[in-house]
Amino acid sequence: MKYSIWYICICMMCACLAEPSDGEQWWLGKGTEQTIAVDSASGRLVHWVVRGEDILSAACGFSLMDATNGETDIPSLIRITRKPDQSIEVESWSRRLELNVTAIYSLQESGAILIDCNVTDLAKRDRAITVSFMADLRPSSWGYGNTWMGNRLQVERLGPGLGPNQIDPFSGHKQSQIPLGSLDDGRVNIAFANSMRKTRFFSYFAEGLDDGAARLVMKVDLGLVGETANFPHQADFQFALLCNDGDTGVRGAFQSYYRTFPDCFAYRSPQGGWALWVGGDEALTAALECGMAYDQWEFDLGKSMESVTKIQKAGLKAMAYSEPWGVWHPIRPEWLKENWKTAAPKPVCANSFYCPIDTEAFKRELANDLEDGTPSDRFPCVTRDFVAKVLLNTAITGNHDEWIFHAYSRDGHSFPWTPNADRKAWASGIIMVNSSPYLPHPNRYDLQLAQLEYSANILMTNGMPKLDGVYLDSLVFYLAWDYYNFNREHWKNATVPLTFAVVDGKAVPAMHNALANAEFLAEFRRYCDRHGYFNVVNTWFPVTQYNIGFIDTLGAGEHSGSGLQKAADFRTFRFLAKDKPISTCDYRLLEPNVTVEEIDARCNLALMYAIMPGTSNGWDRKTSVDKIRQVMPKYATLQRTLMAAGWEVLTHATVDNGGLIERWGHSAQDGLYFTVRNEGDKEARLTVTLPADKYPNAVFSGAEELLDGTPVAFEAQKDGWLLSLDIPAKRTQVLRLQQH
């Protein structure tokens, strides 16, 4: 029923926005590739001119919906103001919904139109609000990037009622997997987009209308409450209008995105793979040969500190471990079984499960640790009293006021990091917390800094070098990135606006960890920059876009199955990361029964997107290390070559027979490489076409394949060049263009 209401909302919006206006038109961006005009009588966008073409078929603007009852409205103009920087501020309000909306349109150096918005609740009560912005586009052959194929995101032509697939990972909030939604018609490419450093629950979708017209929609879900000291009864958000050439598809939208939000893609960590617990001299030498760049240990335990010197001397970077989305804490097994809030704990993954636990009962359990000055069970840098207070200040609560315990081992055995003999047999697991640095102290952010500074002090005292970076583990659903937080005390300190949840069929304001954790990531990124650390994360979809803007190196999940990962997943990681280093943690690479052929196949798939496979749990096993040394060094060399050339989102190339292609190298003069993959089940001859108009002044004379030495047939034609080669099934090969 909820989505039926939403569809009605859009239809009403169309009717309202199509009304003619007779006000003065206020222009922004005249003379640039993208120009808009705001009507002074209505405050609506009446012209959106992209590369000389006005693409709107009707005026467009904001629509509001009260998610608690489905009531909708189009806000009416209060005032419009031209600011000194030439931006246009439009203030409007909805009498029916008692909401005020302010939008500031500004032109960016990248050519994007940035729209900064604020929604204020005039009724001053708890509100769950959906804000939408819609553009109805003139008739044309509009399409959107639905599947990521070949040299571009394949455009499917829109028919009536057809829209791109979306996911619903956050219990009622449909999301786009990428931070933009785009349409193109072969002449112009347009997009709505949001910065991955300004996280909100955005959703983008498109619909085909009659006679080839189309509609592009942005919506964002917001929770408005009075307790939020930084934005009482209000919320802000920001999105942008982007444009590019019409033949570039969603790749063109991403190119515009990179230009508009460059801060999301800054990094200062080395290219290479992530490794765990590489210790001996021979293993360190092998790790470097195999492309590893990082070696991670639990240095915050005060152990293995001498490894830092060895790791750095071997040419790798030493990283400290942390998992700041929860607090490890031992729980008596008998207490846990007595205080589960549900009869059947929710399984998460192998050997772990969520246990909603009785909050007041656990607070009484924590009272045993208050005022206890002995070192805590997981964190020797702080006391049990400190950890107990962190939990009291930061534990998230469900909608029934329960805390969430992520338990390891249903039988409650062997808490892995407990140094205290009297608690060795206690249950192992993590209490889920809000990691914001702005909660009352001590909080989880304070604990994060204590962990790092404890390691740093030991190293400094013993005359050893400082750590290079910090590893942030488990930016994934199974560590509460999918959880709402109903602890209203936490809402008071929020710097990221709330969203809403649906509880017992009703939309209510709520904090969500995927959004709130951005407060930690933003502040910790600043801390790392000040202290010379880089940071590496372990993440997976769909929360990647909520953290990648703040990190240096993307850890693309942990894998242990014998099957290959999906090429589409690796492709999405590359688009979201741009040039940032990407590494997997592939346990299979060092397992005793893995074959050399399996290792090669896994490395070969990752090479398609210059992702460096990382691995762990076996560097002390010589037979396993010897296997990867037969395969991984050549892939490491090619991965570094490709990343040094630089990934280009626009390939300016096509490949036939369903092949995949990516381009590396910014110009023909600087050197061009292409990774080409046969995703089919049989060997196939693939032909790459390079159009001459995309490579002016290039004089290509041939091409060579760098991985297997596969012969490449080269043909120069009047309008471009053809490169053909036979590629086995499920295999990537690397082409380098040669010039006269």
What is the secondary structure of 661-672 as a DSSP string? Answer: EEEE-S-TTT--
Strands, sheet with 71-73, edge to edge from the N-terminal-most edge strand? 71-73, 62-66, 127-137, 214-224, 201-208
Residue 336 to residue 322: CA distance in whole angstroms: 25
Question: Is it the case that residue 407 has pLDDT exceeding 70?
Answer: no
Residue 312 to residue 316: CA distance in whole angstroms: 5
Distances (CA, A) of 726 to 236, 690, 713: 53, 18, 10
* Three-class secondary structure of residue 116 per DSSP: strand
Residue 526 to residue 533: CA distance in whole angstroms: 10
pLDDT of res. 441: 97
| pTM, to two decimals | 0.92
Question: Is it the case that residue 272 has pLDDT exceeding 50?
Answer: yes
φ/ψ of residue 350, rounded to 5: -55, 125
Closest CA to 572 of 190, 250, 202, 173: 250
Hey, what are 265's tokens? 């893609």
Residue 10 to residue 128: CA distance in whole angstroms: 18
Question: Is it the case that residue 496 has pLDDT exceeding 60?
Answer: yes
pLDDT of res. 559: 87
pLDDT range class, residue 207, cuts 50, 70, 90? confident
Per the prediction, the chain carries an average pLDDT of 87
pLDDT of res. 10: 32
pLDDT digits (tens, 9 = 90+) for 593-616: 999 999 999 999 999 999 999 998
Distances (CA, A) of 473 to 99, 564, 701: 40, 23, 47
In this prediction, residues 442-463 reach a mean pLDDT of 94
Strands 469-475 and 317-322: parallel
Closest CA to 516 of 575, 445, 446: 445
Question: Is it the case that residue 4 has pLDDT exceeding 60?
Answer: no
pLDDT digits (tens, 9 = 90+) for 341-400: 554 455 444 455 667 777 888 898 899 899 999 998 888 899 999 999 999 999 999 888
Q: What is the DSSP string of 168-193?
A: -TTSS--B-SSSEEEEE-SSEEEEEE
* Residue 732 bridge partners (DSSP): 677
